[in-house]
Structure 1
């Protein structure tokens, strides 16, 4: 072998090693705080939009007692110095129920003026085995072998003031201002058929016939739903009311139902932003029934705002990120 080919092989090996170190040991630990502004207005011409409440959105911890888990724990502690109006957590907090106490310890210092709310993701319900994870890459499953005690998770989070909404709604009375009531609807995981929209809206706004969108043709639904007008301002669907929805997996047909139900803002997770993104292209997968273009970020739809977080963790069998750093988000 000539010296030239030897040099090429050595350089290639060095670059590959550096790349693997970056995606496994640097970027997953590179936590960031993303500032998001959602403009709320009355829809009048030329209006700039009012400032929303201060909301901390967290998602997809996949918390484990590892070096990554310790760094994540420390990062969350840096967020406790600020007082938020709401804290919203959109699922996949743990993978193993044995880590719930660690999760409670991590989240307990966080404070919110009007409340802390969470929904569950697939991993909160099930601790996937490796073969289940591999099979799940090609086909969705409705259940997995090792079930977590989701009720225990919800109970323990309740002890630190986090209200886990399992297909439930809450109405918060606000002390004056332009928003009199905040309605929060928390949806359980659609992927494993835990979603119950009738139950979720029963307190806030009971469903009527024809309001649930069928997910059999999600591509057509997605094209219609994400036909955005381009205006970066959202007019409240009902004056004086702000309706929020939390869910883990942002499947298009679920979002379309929320759109029909006059939800103003949807907060979601699950996608990890695609976890692997390419420059000028973006996410190569979304991990759910939504186009890759919408794998993370803020989107103004026709009469609804959607925010999908890149999340803070990764699954135990896919502990890497590329061009897609983990994030917590402050929404104002």
Structure 2
């Protein structure tokens, strides 16, 4: 009888602890899905990479929008970004999260197409996201599938890219192109999504014999910042690399940061502006924390959705 009376408080304490843990977990999921995933922010960075004497130049970096029909808060916020009046818009892919999202996405980005833009695709510009075990992300990049499996739902990539093209944005998927903006020559080189092993390096644009000595800036674009891609562009003399894909970890621990990067990038680099070193060269890399979430995992925690404004200044 005595042992039963002693066991009862212990069982009650364990039950109370289990209930508290469950309530905390439910609260975190509710916060992440109802509040933080729509708590959009703008991260601002400054980088001195322009030729001497250049005026400041603003780049609006968008990534991982993952739009689905009916996401009105996200749509209005994207449309409002036109008030920033960027000199250039860079879109590093994963724009869609639903087969019917192409027209809503183009509508959301229409005000930003009043400005020059360049883009590369991500996997969710080709295939709709699918349900998968979230713990697979902790297995490391070598254990994760690098592409879609089990009859993926194919998205209308052609319509998406045509819409961007009609808006004046330049497709840099495995392509290189020079564009003069505000009197500055930008040499762009981009790749198709490394997460799908689609990258093919196009080098830098080829022009006159004196182009290397003329003032210019080399900017590289990729959706997924795999180390092999960062190594290539850094060794090849890029002045700036822009990427996304990681969602900044999407679910982070306060005071610690991302738990996963969904590629072989170290987790502490899953979001932000960092220098990447390779073969004696160093290049600043901006990894966007992304604007959306996959439709199959619609929450964020300690990792607000973001667009990035990079102010480029003279060296």
TM-score, reference length from structure 1: 0.78
Larger Rg: 2
Shift of residue 135, structure 1, vs aligned partner: 6.8
- Given the alignment of the two structures, is residue 283 of structure 1 paired with residue 258 of structure 2, yes or no? yes
For the 8 Å contact 1:259–1:303, the answer to whether it is kept is yes
Correspondence 1:297 to 2:278: no
Residue in 2 aligned with 1:61? Answer: 65
Residue 18 (structure 1) aligned with residue 24 (structure 2): no
Write the mapping of 1:181-330 to structure 2, written as runs, cut at 5 A: 181-197=185-201, 200-201=202-203, 203-204=205-206, 240-301=215-276, 302-330=281-309
Please give the secondary structure, in 2, of the residue aligned with 1:328.
strand
Alignment partners' CA distance in 2, 1:254 and 1:328: 22
Q: Which residue in the other structure is 1:169 paired with? A: 176
8 Å CA contact 2:51–2:216 kept in 1: the answer is no
Q: Distance in 2 between matches of 1:27 and 1:204?
A: 45
In structure 2, distance between residues paired with 1:164 and 1:147:
20
Determine whether 1:147 maps to 2:154: yes
Ranges in structure 1 where 5+ consecutive residues have no aligned partner = 44-48, 206-236
Q: Select 1:157's aligned residue among 160, 164, 181.
A: 164
Contact 1:88/1:116 (8 A) holds in 2: yes
Cα offset for 1:38?
A: 1.1
Rate the CA distance shift 1:78–1:135 in 2: closer, same or farther, 3 A: same
Alpha-carbon distance change, 51 to 293 in structure 1, aligned in 2, over 3 angstroms = farther
Post-superposition CA distance 1:241-299 (Å, at most 9, x none): 10111110000011111012111101100000111212332211110021111111001
CA distance in structure 1 between the aligned counterparts of 2:230 and 2:60, rounded to whole angstroms: 21
Change (3 A) 1:174 1:164: closer
Structure 1 residues 276 and 307: CA distance shift in structure 2, 3 A: same
Aligned-residue RMSD, C-alpha: 2.7
Q: Deviations over 1:288-325 (max 9, x none)?
A: 02111111100134431100000010111111111111
Between the two proteins, the alignment pairs up a number of residues equal to 288
Deviation of the 1:111 alpha carbon:
4.7
Deviates more, 1:244-253 or 1:278-287: 278-287
Query: Any unmatched runs of 5+ in structure 2?
Result: 1-7
Distance 2:50 2:129 in 1: 44
Question: TM-score scaled by structure 2?
Answer: 0.82
2:117 matched residue in structure 1: 116
Q: Deviations over 1:131-174 (max 9, x none)?
A: 59887874223444222232222112222222222211221124
